[in-house]
Chains A and B, each alone.
Chain A
């Protein structure tokens, strides 16, 4: 078998570009944009409407980024969870798979697109948080960069997880609901049950994602590296399993 890796990556880039175009032309990007705007406006205005305000940058960062893990999950549900299954559901896979392109290239192209679009939304959130913090408190919390780095690790982990489910599911709605329920509910239940038994749950994706927020208050660097490793590990394992299942998936 002849493998031309550079040509494979070129094809992956073409697929990524088309996937981003697909996201940009759909309603989901508009919906998520509204959701993000709502979060930003509420965080920016509510404290003042309630007669308070922000005195320190840490308050701004903790309020704005307090639900960043939930936003990552919602973004992955909207974009990554449907990216593979929708090709089968809408039968566009017929024009893609019958071309001289390897299945893993399609998968990676779509993963990169999902990662990119979710990351851009998160970057908007972080940029707005920093700009707003400087505007109202005169400075920004120093750990915001590290938090964004951890956020990107989480985006990779969650997108990998969502794409794995997208590879298995028969319908986009099923993949979206499964991603949401498993990440928000099932893993949380498993986490609390294990904790009750005194079992370490730091290896769970959502436990590790907590470090995106915790870092703002300052936590040891070795703990951050571990959490980043857990999130990347989830991404790598889910991507690998997703790739295998996608290769085996028939029309």
Chain B
């Protein structure tokens, strides 16, 4: 394979008895993208990523990392790849520093390089304080931070994350997202593929979206294109004062508006149009005769589109 894409799924199929978990999946992950792999439970996200990380073998088809077939040559394919699959357990008798040394040595890093990177990475994942404590004493959130740190060892150019916040409490989720954002901001030459079923997480982190259902790819595009390709988007308008009927009427009369409803102190506008239409809408909204203190796109935009797609496929 020589498409130049860091990650490629080619006609991938995985069967568990009569159940088809992944059905002829073809997907190319763009270089330097942060791609969110979405899908309902049982859609084949985790199975695809486990095949990609050499944990599960495919029934047929192939997965490639920088052109190397993971099944045929996992050692070469997984070089320069950081992974976090679910919440892995660690060797509880080791400390984070010893774990980094172990993995660093397996990868073939020198002692000095391991030591230098361990300190830098532990700082990045905010675990410096616990560098020499036994992992057996760590909470799930702390272990997940160590696992994210391990994915960063030896400066990978591809990171694969399978539901990295699964099972974490809200604080743990927020911390993990923060670390992922920092990882992304710190390295422009990095391709990340992350499976999740948390829309806000994907909205927050990803610039590209791939949605799979019944093991088949339904859509793969930039985040903006995916959410704009809907029957309607929802724009949230916050008037300075409580919404009143005349405000609703005024907004309803604006172009491309197909529905308006009051929700608490906000007005939710169902809108049909592209980015230019949205910009024009905001301009006209500002010209109305009542003060507006906030305008934004609904944070549920991705969820709306996702549900539309899943519904269509049924």
Contacts and interface: CB of A to CB of B under 8 A. Distances in A.
Interface of A: 1-2, 7, 10-11, 14-15, 18, 21-22, 25-26, 90-103, 248, 250-251
B89 A92 contact: yes
Interface stretch (B48-56, B250-258, B267-275, B282-290): B48-56
A55 to B, nearest CB: 47
A95 B76 contact: no
- Greatest chain B CB density within 10 A among A14, A22, A93, A94 is at A94
Given A94-B85, A101-B75, A15 B91 contact: no
Contacts of B77: 100
B56 A14 contact: no
Contacts of B150: 95
A94 B91 CA distance: 11
Contacts of B79: 100
Nearest to B150: A95
B89 A94 contact: yes
A250 B57 CA distance: 7
Contacts of A97: 53-55
A21 B53 contact: no
B105 interface: yes
Nearest to B147: A95
Nearest to A105: B75
A15 B93 contact: no
Contacts of A90: 89
B85 A98 contact: yes
A92 B55 contact: no
Interface in B63-93: 72-79, 81, 83, 85-86, 88-91, 93
Nearest to B69: A1
A248 to B, nearest CB: 7
Contacts of A248: 57
Nearest to B85: A94
B88 A91 contact: yes
Contacts of B74: 100-103
A94 B55 CA distance: 7
B103 interface: yes
Contacts of B57: 248, 250
Contacts of A14: 102, 105-106
A251 B53 CA distance: 11
Nearest to B151: A98
B240 interface: no
B47 to A, nearest CB: 10
B108 interface: yes
Contacts of A92: 88-91
6 contacts: A92-B90, A94-B85, A97-B54, A97-B55, A98-B55, A99-B78
A26 B108 CA distance: 27
Contacts of B147: 95
Size class of the contact patch on chain B: 20 to 34
A97 B105 CA distance: 14
A91 B147 CA distance: 13
B53 A98 contact: yes
A100 B75 contact: yes
B144 to A, nearest CB: 12
List of 5 A-B pairs having minimum Cβ-Cβ separation, nearest first = A94-B88, A25-B93, A98-B83, A251-B55, A100-B78
Given A92-B90, A99-B103, A251-B50, A1 B73 contact: yes
Given A1-B72, A2-B73, A95-B88, A251 B105 contact: no
Contacts of A18: 91, 102
A1 B69 CA distance: 9
B174 interface: no
Given A97-B54, A100-B106, 14 more contacts: A1-B73, A2-B76, A7-B108, A14-B105, A15-B106, A18-B102, A22-B91, A26-B93, A92-B90, A98-B55, A98-B83, A99-B106, A100-B75, A101-B75
Contacts of A95: 88, 90, 103, 147, 150
Contacts of A102: 74-75
A11 B79 CA distance: 14
Contacts of A22: 91, 93
A99 B94 CA distance: 18
- Greatest chain B CB density within 10 A among A2, A14, A21 is at A14
B56 to A, nearest CB: 5
A39 B251 CA distance: 90
Contacts of A21: 93-94
Nearest to A247: B57
A1 B76 contact: yes
Given A25-B93, A95-B150, A100 B88 contact: no
Contacts of B160: 98
Contacts of A11: 106, 108
Contacts of B94: 21
Nearest to A249: B57
B89 A91 contact: yes
B107 interface: yes
A93 B86 CA distance: 12
Contacts of B73: 1-2
